[in-house]
């Protein structure tokens, strides 16, 4: 369904959820050097390619959610992205002190976003 046929509340929800990923993807473009290094350090094969794929997924799926197009596919793609990103970037078990707390907060945010994607899938929109 295209965004013009969504209810205003549904459009706002999709805008907020999708917008987070469009913003994050664009931010990741600016930080690709350090993010590629983190991916390589965590043992991810082809870190530059994987980062590029993740950025494309974030921006594309986020934009699809905003537009209300192919929302099930976008939500599923971002659920998979969240699972991988959480394991790679929010590995609180490897950290102590404030860094551990920051990573736990990132994990909690990703769990909440996963819940939002499950709601989108449950509603079929």
Find tokens 């899938």 and name the residue.
121
Task: Centre a 10 Å sphere on the Cβ of residue 48 and count the other Cβ atoms it contains.
Answer: 14
Contacts 24+ apart (CB under 8 A), 102-106: none
- Percent of the chain with pLDDT strictly greater than 90: 66
Confidence check: pLDDT of 3 > 70: no
Question: Which tens digits make up the pLDDT trace of 111-122?
Answer: 999 999 999 999
- pTM comes to 0.86
3-state secondary structure 72-89: HHHHHHHHHHHHHHHHHH
Distance, in Å, from the CA atom of 54 to the CA atom of 59, rounded to the nearest integer, reads 9
Confidence check: pLDDT of 1 > 70: no
Question: Residue 115: CB partners within 8 Å, gap ≥ 6?
Answer: none
pLDDT at 64: 96
- What does the mean pLDDT of the chain come to? 90
Q: What is the mean pLDDT of residues 40-69?
A: 95
Q: What is the mean pLDDT of residues 34-62?
A: 95
pLDDT at 46: 96
């Amino acid at each position: 369904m295209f965004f013009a046929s969504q209810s205003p509340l549904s459009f706002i929800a999709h805008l907020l959820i999708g917008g987070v990923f469009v913003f994050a993807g664009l931010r990741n473009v600016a930080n690709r050097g350090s993010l590629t290094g983190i991916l390589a350090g965590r043992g991810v094969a082809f870190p530059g390619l994987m980062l590029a794929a993740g950025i494309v997924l974030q921006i594309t799926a986020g934009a699809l959610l905003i537009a209300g197009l192919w929302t099930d596919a976008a939500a599923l793609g971002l659920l998979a992205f969240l699972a991988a990103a959480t394991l790679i970037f929010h590995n609180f078990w490897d950290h102590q002190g404030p860094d551990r707390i920051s990573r736990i907060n990132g994990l909690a945010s990703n769990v909440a976003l996963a819940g939002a994607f499950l709601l989108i899938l449950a509603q079929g929109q």
